[in-house]
Amino acid sequence: MKKIGIFYGTDSGNTHTIADLIAKKLEVDTKPMDVSKVNKQQILEYDYLILASSTYGYGDLQSDWEDMIDAFDAKDFEGKTIALVGLGDQDTYSDTFCDCLYYLYEKVRLGNVVGKTSIEGYSFDSTKSLEDGKFLGLVLDEDNQPELTQERIEKWVAEIKPFFS
């Protein structure tokens, strides 16, 4: 397994927990890092990245990511392999479900983005985080479907693992 940087932004702690679960399933030595405690260079040291964010308010990127994201240009991620993880609430915020992925994707799109997932099993009205009918990464709803989280992580990790090996 190559050296993978896992970076998350969280308000409630859910995204941190998810990042830890993903690291454990990937069997990596690297501990996930809170994006509020790193800088741009620390993120760009990795050629293999997993970026995780919760969706905040009405479709916004989590606040620590908002503080960081403008420091990057899309070209910063050329040649890197990136997987994205988004948390959202498909019931309360059905019109902006997991829009956080879109904002991360806009910055990393010139890299090799892997791990897009099916929208099957979700119920929402709108999201910016779709491409070709798939979510731009792993999408989890800890508010309404926590019982599906473990299975979704396991399936997703199995799909992305070859890209990180």
Residue in 48, 51, 149 with CA at minimum distance from that of residue 100: 51
* Domain ranges within the chain, ordered by starting residue: 4-164
State the average pLDDT for the chain. Answer: 94
Q: Is the pLDDT of residue 29 over 90?
A: no
- Residue 5 CA to residue 22 CA, distance in Å, equals 12
User: Reduced to 3 DSSP states, what percent helix, strand and coil does the chain have, rounded to the nearest 5?
Assistant: 40, 25, 40
pLDDT at 44 (0 to 100): 95
Who wins on pLDDT, 30 or 65?
65
pTM over 0.75: yes
Averaged pLDDT, 79-89: 96
Whole-number CA gyration radius for the chain: 14
27 Cα distance to chain centroid: 18
| Percentage of the chain lying above the pLDDT 90 cut | 87
pLDDT at 1 (0 to 100): 55
CATH of domain 4-164: 3.40.50.360
Q: Is the pLDDT of residue 56 over 90?
A: no
